[in-house]
A = this chain, B = another copy of it.
Amino acid sequence: MSSSSATITSINEEILSLQNRIKELKVSKQDASAEVNSMKALKEQLKSLTKDQASDGPVASNFTLKTPKGTIDHKPEAALLRKKIFSTLEGIFLKHDASTIDTPVFELKEILAGKYGEDSKLIYDLSDQGGELCSLRYDLTVPFARYVAMNGITSMKRYHIGKVYRRDQPVMTKGRMREFYQCDIDIAGTCDPMVYDSEILKILCEALTALDIGQYTVKINHRKILDGIFQLAGVPADKTRSISSAVDKLDKLPWADVKKEMTVEKGLDENVADKIGQYVGLKGPGYDVLEKLKSDSELMGIPLAKQGIDDMEILFRYLKVYKVLDKMSFDMSLARGLDYYTGIIYEAIHESSAPPSKSTNPSVPPSSELSTKTGTKPTKPSKSKSKSGSEAVVNEDGIDESTVGVGSIAAGGRYDNLVGMFAESAGKKMNEQVPCVGVSVGVERVYSIMEMRRKQTQEKVRGKETEVFVLGLGGIELEKRMEVATMLWDNGIKTSFSPKVNPKPPAQWKQADDDAIPYVLILAPKEFAEGKVRIKAQTGRENTIEGEDKNGVEVKLEEVVEYLKERLVDHRI
């Protein structure tokens, strides 16, 4: 900002202050001519300054009031709903022994550099104003890995809910924003096989159930099985990840196209591709697919595949104890876009994302799918392709979400090398790798689903939690309403009243109604003098008070708190 615009501000403020004083003086019929002259002089000064400034930047007095592209204000209703999503998730995470960390919204540029492949172009940099070069965080995973490596942590369950930033082309209608929330939980540290993996899946299922957004299925696969299949098929070692990323496209492209990508684009032998095609259509309930794989002696002969299959067997045993096995769909076509997954990978799909051509209940795939070892097109809902660890699933490239609803609502996997890579690239020696497994709940998608459901129920959406409106009839002074409100506040009851000294009753009823406040506490002069008030449940709401007539129920002032507390218990959010 130029110094002249700083001057403009202070002159503007001076003018406003003078305007106030002139008004005051006029009200009290005093002479304001000196002030009027001062103001005129300041206005002249302002005029010439604004003219000067036109050449060295935009004039502050002519711009659009808006938020930056790809960002929005979350208004009260939206902010309150998000707050509830966060506190639901937080409750689950805390129950599972997790703690939270809060890292800066920007990191040193070099911390993010080289972590997101070609998506690095989407990173927001801070301007170089002298000092360190910084960038806004792109996800919560890299800051977590930085934190773990930096502090030499060997074991930690951490969750983090925060905004991340991607300079992507925003698609507001699809909820693809440049600023959006991520909600991650990750467990860093060694454990016996699949213990943390199973707990992350348990947490995910508890979270999705607690959010109460309807049916979901967790698609699950194992990188080692996938890599074992590639090995069996004869994929050269250095092509593993690129072939894996081709498999990952089976949710949008028919097998023929994917095969073409493998063979024509990526130079894979046709028979190698066909061998892969025999496996990637296999999916179904955990133990069913597991039995198929275990009976495949060729695949079991590949140590990598066998190890993955053994892992899955242990995992399913634990998931059964955790009572969430029935939520899983073992799906060999799930590959996940991220390079750094090393073990199990998963994605939760919401019922609204079931592809049009498929069964409406994705948790129970037709049993015929189990035998699909041919090269036919497997159908897979949309999922995240962004380059973060346990990334949010809101911001992806090139997937037409319009055909698959909101897409996946959570995703994650095991990544055993990321923290070590971090420590190593910072020249830090660590005794061993810090293996991690984590999941990210797609908060923005969950929000969309909840908002959609709320619209269907036509429930009045509230942006505040106020429970009681204190209404005064004629003759009840403001202090009386303040006094009653104080009594309610002191007892934790969320209360409001009109800010007027003598408000008309209809205006008060309107205020209570506009805010959909469930209870109105009425102070009438005669009753109040006798120590009584009336409590009335708002019409059109469920919480009509038992036995009340159209004027509400009479309650003694000293019993009001107890009376309301009993009734409010059910309305607390």
Contacts of A61 in B (CB 8 A): 424-425, 427
A60 within 8 A of B: yes
Q: Which of A1-40 contact B (CB under 8 A)?
A: 1, 5-6, 8-10, 12-14, 16-18, 20-21, 24-25, 27-28, 30, 34-35, 38
Provide the bound-state CA to CA distance between A72 and B105, in Å.
10
Judging by beta carbons under 8 Å apart, are B124 and A63 in contact? no
Contacts of A64 in B (CB 8 A): 426
Q: Which of B101, B107, B304 contacts A24 (CB 8 A)?
A: B304
Provide the bound-state CA to CA distance between A99 and B163, in Å.
20
Contacts of A6 in B (CB 8 A): 114, 117-118, 120
| Stretch of A289-297, A317-325, A522-530, A538-546 that contacts chain B | A317-325
Q: Which of B69, B120, B121, B192 contacts A499 (CB 8 A)?
A: B192
Q: Which of B63, B79, B163, B478 contacts A192 (CB 8 A)?
A: B478
A98 within 8 A of B: yes
Judging by beta carbons under 8 Å apart, are B95 and A74 in contact? no
A171 within 8 A of B: no
Provide the bound-state CA to CA distance between A318 and B95, in Å.
44
User: Assuming the A-B contacts A179-B105, A339-B17, A489-B95, are A114 and B303 also in contact, with contact meaning beta carbons closer than 8 angstroms in the complex?
Assistant: no
Judging by beta carbons under 8 Å apart, are B24 and A307 in contact? yes
- Cβ of A87 to closest chain B Cβ, rounded Å: 9
Contacts of A95 in B (CB 8 A): 489, 492-495
Q: Which residue of B lies closest to A156 (CB)?
A: B76
- Cβ of A123 to closest chain B Cβ, rounded Å: 8
- How many copies altogether? 2
Provide the bound-state CA to CA distance between A196 and B500, in Å.
10
Judging by beta carbons under 8 Å apart, are B195 and A499 in contact? yes
Contacts of A482 in B (CB 8 A): 198, 318, 321-322
A133-156 vs B, CB cutoff 8 Å, 1 = contact: the mask equals 010100000000011011000000
Residues in A lying within 8 Å of B, measured CB to CB: 1, 5-6, 8-10, 12-14, 16-18, 20-21, 24-25, 27-28, 30, 34-35, 38, 42, 58, 60-69, 71-76, 78-80, 82-83, 94-108, 110-111, 113-115, 117-118, 120-121, 123-129, 131-132, 134, 136, 146-147, 149-150, 157-158, 163, 167, 179, 189-192, 195-196, 198, 202, 206, 224, 227, 236-238, 240-241, 303-304, 307, 317-318, 321-323, 339-340, 342, 417, 421-428, 463-466, 478-479, 482-483, 486, 489, 492-496, 499-501, 515
- Can you list 26 residue pairs at the A/B interface with Cβ under 8 Å? A1-B120, A1-B123, A6-B120, A13-B339, A14-B238, A14-B241, A24-B224, A24-B303, A28-B303, A60-B425, A62-B427, A63-B425, A65-B423, A68-B104, A68-B106, A68-B108, A68-B132, A75-B101, A79-B102, A97-B464, A105-B179, A125-B129, A191-B500, A195-B499, A318-B478, A323-B486
7 further interface pairs, Cβ-Cβ under 8 Å (given A62-B426, A65-B426): A18-B238, A21-B304, A63-B108, A68-B104, A73-B102, A96-B494, A192-B500
